[in-house]
Structure 1
């Protein structure tokens, strides 16, 4: 009946239109119409039946409150404001990680280029500066990002927020593609200086070609890492129904290892790679094994995984 339908429409006019409220309105319309027909069948006229129905459903405000009250899932859902803060933090993290790697590459490249000159001390200083700046960015911005992620852990992601994330992801696709293509192209182009040096054997340009390789490679990694982290931030919301502060297997392994074996965690994540870097520099500069020293990093990466997995299987300390 139009009168009942208009009555409910007015009641729900101030309520946000959601699947829950629309369903509640439809159910109430069905109940009120059935009650109205029942009263007419009992001999009441239209006005009496309509008045009775409205009086009987006078507690509609309570029904509205129950229908629109936030459920436990709604209370636990991410909001757009929280997600925007997460995305801004992700962009800062992307710049810090990519910039830190580029800073280290620039510093190491400068050291290699200046070692055979009178300014070798400046090269070492620039290398140390690049490493310090890079590691500082990793730590400070990484910790700030953790503080943003942890309160969002195990929060549900509403469908409308997923739709917003998908739109942001789509809008960023062209930028991500450009960053990825440019990064890969730079990484490939980084091979040219060492190749040209190997072909031409230009005197005095051996170390300079190595420095150019590291500079260009660092620039390529900057583009790839920066674009990938931002794109992953949108994907994390667009494709998930629940937000987890620890997103991937490596991070979960890191968190579990920190709880199970704090000493091993400290060694692997704060001591291991600096030792590998020092060993690389000693082998390269001290013994001149540039053609073989780079193998230290892939071997160290494999050993890192083996040691970490063994530590995860070992009894908890």
Structure 2
């Protein structure tokens, strides 16, 4: 039997180490073993039994063709993720998405602080000169944005070592691990749906709060803007964190498509990142120019919600058009 085992190992040495290939190898070994002992019981010698078994089961190309695995033979070998690797990926995703969400919140709250300082100065509640107030507000905004950029980079680096999971989909899961991930996803789905609903409600209610407080007088205008931005920042954090965790489960299970993530999915991600890298810096530039040159601090806060809407609209339009052409 040692000769048959060595021969079988050599047969599969050059083939991808996929779950299908391992199952085929196990089944082939069982068949060869049964045939070997059957021949031995029929009175064949050791060498005769081995020779007959190898002659009957030794053509790997015919076996692969018979089992319909010809495409798998040529594909890139996939890494089978262990349970600890899956846990590390999920933990890193939670950590990265948490800090990326905090970074997004800081960008919005930086604008809220700037608007609040300027509003307090104009209302006379903050007794400092306009130059000092604007400089302080801009400084806080830039510190918040710089901190956010650092958090974005940190979050990206945390997930960089999981590219074979996050973007390439070049991996496989054992049956036990897949079952565990599916159970965890089902348990997490109600939480994800609840946070999604809360986030949408906060986005819808944020302008309602703004207009409601405005009815009490202009003195409440500055506070209504700040409250609106705080509500938006909470919604953004919920979207980023819980959406990323739920997306991690989908990536592990490859639920977008049975064969993994498509090129269209990758193109959408890259395009969304490219658009975001243009829209948000441009929004900050417009915000600063409209404030310093045209003194529109009381209204230019609306630039950031508009930028978010434009980014979301472009993402949705690109996804729809991209799938329509397929």
Alignment partners' CA distance in 2, 1:280 and 1:145: 32
Q: CA deviation at 1:164?
A: 3.4
Contact 1:183–1:219 (8 Å) recurs in 2 = yes
Q: Secondary structure at the match of 2:219?
A: coil
2:243 is the alignment partner of 1:228 = yes
Aligned counterpart, 2:195: 179
Q: CA deviation at 1:24?
A: 2.8
2:296 is the alignment partner of 1:287 = yes
TM-score (ref. length: structure 2): 0.63
Aligned counterpart, 2:154: 140
Q: CA deviation at 1:30?
A: 4.3
Alignment partners' CA distance in 1, 2:200 and 2:298: 27
- Give the direction of change, closer, same or farther, for the CA distance of 1:253–1:209 in structure 2 (3 Å limit): closer
- Structure 2: stretches of 5+ with no match in the other structure: 1-21, 61-72, 319-326
- Structure 1: stretches of 5+ with no match in the other structure: 1-17, 40-48, 256-264, 309-317
Contact 2:164–2:170 (8 Å) recurs in 1 = no
Aligned counterpart, 2:97: 94
Contact 1:190–1:217 (8 Å) recurs in 2 = yes
2:167 is the alignment partner of 1:158 = no
Aligned counterpart, 1:110: 113
Contact 2:188–2:246 (8 Å) recurs in 1 = yes
- Give the direction of change, closer, same or farther, for the CA distance of 1:88–1:219 in structure 2 (3 Å limit): same
2:226 to 201, 207, 211: 211
Aligned counterpart, 2:143: 129
User: 5 Å matches for 1:44-123?
Assistant: 49=43, 52=44, 56=48, 76-80=78-82, 81-115=84-118, 116-117=120-121, 118=126, 120=133, 121-123=135-137
Q: CA deviation at 1:104?
A: 1.5
Alignment partners' CA distance in 2, 1:235 and 1:303: 23
Contact 1:194–1:210 (8 Å) recurs in 2 = yes
Q: Secondary structure at the match of 1:205?
A: helix
Contact 2:195–2:239 (8 Å) recurs in 1 = yes
- Give the direction of change, closer, same or farther, for the CA distance of 1:247–1:78 in structure 2 (3 Å limit): farther
Q: CA deviation at 1:293?
A: 4.9
2:201 is the alignment partner of 1:194 = no
Contact 2:113–2:137 (8 Å) recurs in 1 = yes
Q: CA deviation at 1:123?
A: 3.4
Aligned counterpart, 2:307: 297
Alignment partners' CA distance in 2, 1:278 and 1:146: 30
Q: CA deviation at 1:248?
A: 3.2
Give deviations 1:52-80, integer Å, cap 9, x for gaps.
Answer: 466755799xx9xx9xxxx8879522312
- Give the direction of change, closer, same or farther, for the CA distance of 1:127–1:272 in structure 2 (3 Å limit): same
Alignment partners' CA distance in 2, 1:53 and 1:126: 87
Aligned counterpart, 1:32: 36
Q: Secondary structure at the match of 1:108?
A: helix
Most deviating of 97-106 and 154-163: 154-163
Q: Secondary structure at the match of 1:78?
A: strand
- Give the direction of change, closer, same or farther, for the CA distance of 1:34–1:150 in structure 2 (3 Å limit): closer
Q: Secondary structure at the match of 1:157?
A: strand
- Give the direction of change, closer, same or farther, for the CA distance of 1:175–1:79 in structure 2 (3 Å limit): same
